[in-house]
């Protein structure tokens, strides 16, 4: 053995290298603090950083949704069923998420995982990087006393809506910092969010011609539109030292959403925030290491226990410990720590709020076949977005409690396999079922299907706040364990009546864009529209937007974390992934998680 003495004491130990952990780590490393990041997944480098000159991310559709695997998890009702996952998503037989379809019907699901890899979910996501609107931060006060909220028979919206303990204005400088340091392209004009710190977007690339229908539809309906902010660099990015190809348009490929980027143009937290600091002596990164529990003495977490790539256990200490391994897994880690020490459990969860108010988004949309045909394999994830449905006027007109962002998807169905495997299905648990069962798609029938759909499918999506409910929660499952013998996360959630109504309204609005986009007069046929609650596994659907479960606030009896995302009864324990959110926001959450992480990083830099 040639053991080298590696440090085991740090200023900050960060668990997770994605949107919640990497930004604050970036700030603290630059501030000279010693930082250790522990990451469960592997480090997959882009080509320009890999000593072999190739990346472990491939432009191969079987990397995004790989071969069939079979669930063999005991004590779930879908054991024996097939599932498909990306190469950086977990093996469900080793580490399933289990959700309750109904009492006595627990099912394993791939929903609710982002990615287990350095960079976390930002490696696979489509990169949509929207700010929340100012209203998203004050839904409690906005809805207080309202009598025009529809489909809220028990008054849960008014009872459960919460203001964030920080305002949009307080977060705005951090949005700007995140946009600059992460590397985002887009346009500001027509966004319903003030850019007081100035604009830092890189210019967007060309739109895919199919998006012209969305332009027409949004314009016809008077919806101010803007180029969807995307975490893909289009120019050389000075903060991270990344360079774009001679032709920046090369970034547009169908291998975007659910693919890691072998060129490193997609702004994962690894290539944008961590890799540039990799050689700093005060930055340590240990990947392929799974944290098993936190150990505390009184109000201080004094040990972080983890298993190394061979399964050997180690402990490290940090003056500050930050948990940021995606909301479900963060809640699970805190609960597992409480399972090992009842005093830890009492401190982290004195009011039974840990795991409660778990959130995802109300999402859905509409899709249509457009006239003509377009090369969707030359695209990014989205071209146009609108905040039309995020305004107070829209919200009040429809009796809603909150608004939404609406944008088109450009890269969906861009490649032959993605077209086939999502035929009749849109969710991760049922891919391929539609194609395999639709026996009409054979020979001439398959040719007609390809003629009718390939390069002709256009969809518009909405992303909206879900009503926070205490009974929507993350627990530890009573009998299902992971490959280390630890209880897995158990997700119990359902949609509120107002969620269903809200999704119906927004699905119709999305459909209208396509109706008007197709012919300018609103008569173009739309093939389908609706909210996610309509799908077969609607209770499981999470869209990889994993939020809540450890919300922050100003009242320790109503929240798990304080305004700085510190656990109320701990001196040095912070949670900075999406778990901190008391409401989900009317947009994709990653940029807000990143901005908040920068905010907490500044707080910690002052504190340490």
Nearer to other proteins, 103 or 439 (CB): 439
Of 136 and 482, nearer to other proteins (C-beta) is: 482
Which residue, 187 or 481, has its beta carbon nearer to other proteins? 481
User: Residue 45 CB, nearest distance to other proteins (Å)?
Assistant: 9
The tokens of 344 are what?
């830890």
127 in contact with other proteins (CB under 8 A): no
Q: What are the backbone angles phi and psi of residue 109, rounded to the nearest 5°? A: -145, 150
Which of 30, 49, 93, 195 touches other proteins by CB under 8 A? 93
β-pairing, 384-386 vs 225-227, is: antiparallel
Interaction of residue 144 with other proteins, rule CB under 8 A: no
Binding to other proteins (CB under 8 A): which residues in 189-248?
245-247
Residue 372-391 contact track with other proteins, rule CB under 8 A, x = bound: -xxx-xx-------------
Tell which one of 187, 197, 481, 535 touches other proteins (CB under 8 A): 481
Closest to other proteins by CB, 60 vs 471, is 60
Kindly state whether residue 455 participates in binding other proteins, applying the rule CB under 8 A. yes
Q: Residue 546 in contact with residue 328, Cβ under 8 Å?
A: yes
Joined tokens for residue 86: 């990306």
> Shortest approach of other proteins to residue 126 CB, angstroms?
16
Tokens (6 digits) for 113: 């995982």
Residues constituting the chain = 608
State which of positions 67-86 bind other proteins (CB under 8 A).
67-70, 72-74
Q: Which of 144, 194, 235, 484 touches other proteins by CB under 8 A? A: 484
Cα–Cα distance list, 387 to 186, 404, 509 (Å): 14, 7, 12
Least distance between other proteins and beta carbon 514 (Å): 20
Instruction: Please say which residue, 168 or 287, places its beta carbon nearer to other proteins.
Output: 287
What helix, strand, coil percent values describe the chain, rounded to 5? 30, 20, 50
When asked if residue 6 is in the footprint of other proteins (CB under 8 A), the reply is yes
Of 450, 497, 563, 608, the residue at the interface with other proteins (CB under 8 A) is 450
User: Dihedral of CA 104/107/111/113: which sign?
Assistant: positive
Min CB(60)–other proteins separation in Å: 4
281 sits near other proteins (criterion: CB under 8 A):
no
Of the listed pieces 49-57, 163-171, 176-184, 587-595, which binds other proteins according to CB under 8 A?
Answer: 49-57
Handedness of CA 206, 211, 212, 215 (dihedral sign): negative
- If we measure between CA atoms, which residue out of 384, 388, 386 comes closest to residue 398? 388
Shortest Å, Cβ 142 to other proteins = 45
Interior/surface letters 212-233, b for 16+ CB within 10 angstroms, e for the rest: bbbbbbbebbebebbbbbbbbb
Does position 309 bind other proteins by CB under 8 A? yes
Collapsed DSSP state (helix, strand, coil) of residue 318: strand
Least spacing, CB of residue 458 vs other proteins, in Å: 14
Angle at 320 between CA 319 and CA 324, to 5 degrees: 150
Please state, in angstroms and rounded to a whole number, the distance separating the CA atoms of residues 286 and 279.
Answer: 13
- Regarding 603 and contact with other proteins (CB under 8 A), the answer is no
Identify the residue among 32, 203, 298, 416 touching other proteins (CB under 8 A). Answer: 416
Interface with other proteins includes 417 (CB under 8 A)?
A: yes
The C-alpha angle 515, 516, 517, rounded to 5 degrees, equals 95
CB 22 within 8 A of CB 238: no
H helices present in 185-326, as ranges? 212-220, 269
Q: How far is the CB of 51 from other proteins (least distance, A)?
A: 7
Least gap, CB of 149 to other proteins (angstroms): 45
Confirm or reject binding of residue 307 to other proteins (CB under 8 A): yes
In the complex, least distance from residue 433 CB atom to other proteins, rounded to whole angstroms: 9
Instruction: Please enumerate in sequence order all residues whose Cβ is within 8 A of that of 382, keeping only pairs 6 or more positions apart, or say none.
Output: 126, 128, 228, 230, 407, 408, 409, 410, 411
Pick between residue 289 and residue 328 the one whose CB is nearest to other proteins.
Answer: 289
Angle at Cα 57 formed by Cα 56 and Cα 60, nearest 5°? 120
Site string for other proteins, 237-276 (x = CB under 8 A): --------xxx--x--xxx------xx-------------
- From residue 7 to residue 46, the character string flagging contacts with other proteins as x (rule: CB under 8 A) and all else as - is ----------------------------------xxxx--
> Of 283-291, 352-360, 461-469, 497-505, which part binds other proteins (CB under 8 A)?
283-291
Candidate residues 454, 490, 516, 568; the one interacting with other proteins per rule CB under 8 A: 454
Cα dihedral 376, 377, 380, 385, rounded to 10, equals 10
């Amino acid at each position: 053995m040639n053991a080298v003495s590696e440090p085991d004491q740090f200023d900050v130990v960060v668990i997770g290298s994605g949107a919640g952990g990497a930004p604050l780590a970036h700030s603290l490393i630059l501030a000279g603090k010693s930082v250790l990041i522990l990451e469960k997944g592997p480090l997959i480098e882009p080509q320009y950083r890999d000593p072999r000159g190739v990346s472990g991310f491939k432009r191969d559709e079987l990397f995004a949704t790989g071969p069939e695997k079979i669930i063999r998890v005991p004590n779930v009702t879908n054991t024996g069923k097939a599932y498909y996952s990306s190469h950086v998503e977990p093996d469900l037989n080793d580490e399933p998420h289990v959700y309750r379809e109904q009492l006595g019907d627990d099912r394993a699901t791939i929903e609710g995982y982002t990615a287990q890899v350095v960079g976390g979910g930002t490696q696979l996501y489509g990169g949509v990087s929207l700010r929340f609107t100012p209203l998203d931060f004050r839904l409690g006060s906005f809805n207080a006393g309202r009598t025009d909220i529809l489909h809220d028979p028990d008054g849960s919206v008014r009872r459960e809506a919460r203001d964030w303990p920080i305002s949009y204005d307080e977060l705005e400088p951090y949005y700007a910092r995140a946009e600059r340091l992460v590397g985002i392209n887009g346009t500001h004009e027509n966004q319903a969010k003030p850019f007081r710190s100035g604009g830092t977007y890189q210019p967007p690339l060309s739109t895919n011609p199919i998006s012209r229908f969305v332009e027409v539809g949004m314009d016809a309906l008077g919806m101010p539109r803007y180029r969807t902010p995307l975490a893909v660099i289009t120019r050389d990015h000075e903060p991270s030292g990344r360079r774009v190809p001679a032709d920046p348009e090369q970034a547009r490929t169908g291998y975007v959403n659910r693919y890691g980027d072998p060129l490193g143009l997609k702004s994962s937290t690894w290539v944008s925030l961590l890799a540039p600091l990799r050689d700093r002596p005060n930055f340590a990164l240990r990947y392929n290491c799974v944290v098993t529990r936190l150990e505390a003495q009184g109000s201080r977490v004094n040990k972080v226990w983890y298993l190394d790539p061979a399964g050997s256990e180690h402990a490290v200490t940090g003056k500050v410990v930050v948990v940021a391994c995606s909301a479900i897994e963060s809640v699970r880690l805190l609960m597992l720590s409480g399972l090992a020490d009842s005093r830890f459990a009492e401190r982290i969860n004195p009011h039974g709020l840990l795991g409660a108010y778990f959130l995802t988004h109300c999402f859905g949309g509409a899709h249509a076949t457009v006239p003509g045909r377009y090369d969707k394999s030359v695209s990014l994830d989205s071209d146009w977005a609108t905040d039309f449905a995020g305004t107070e006027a829209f919200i009040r007109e429809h009796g809603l409690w909150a608004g939404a962002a609406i944008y088109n998807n450009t890269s969906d169905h861009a490649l032959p396999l993605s077209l086939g495997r999502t035929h009749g299905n849109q969710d991760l648990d049922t891919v391929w079922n539609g194609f395999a069962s639709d026996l009409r798609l054979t020979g001439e029938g398959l040719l007609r299907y390809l003629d009718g759909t390939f390069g002709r499918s256009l969809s518009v999506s909405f992303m909206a706040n879900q009503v926070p409910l205490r009974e929507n929660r993350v627990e530890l499952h009573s009998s299902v364990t992971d490959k280390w013998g630890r209880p897995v996360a158990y997700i119990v959630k359902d949609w509120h009546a107002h969620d269903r109504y809200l999704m119906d309204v927004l699905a119709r609005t999305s459909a209208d864009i396509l109706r008007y986009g197709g012919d300018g007069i609103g008569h173009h046929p739309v093939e389908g529209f609706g909210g996610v609650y309509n799908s077969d596994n609607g209770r499981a659907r999470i869209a990889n937007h994993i939020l809540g479960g450890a919300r922050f606030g100003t009242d320790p009896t109503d929240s798990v974390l304080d305004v700085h995302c510190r656990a109320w009864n701990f001196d040095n324990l912070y949670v900075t992934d999406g778990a901190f959110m008391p409401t989900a926001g009317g947009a994709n959450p990653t940029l807000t998680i990143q901005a908040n992480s920068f905010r907490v990083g500044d707080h910690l830099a002052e504190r340490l």
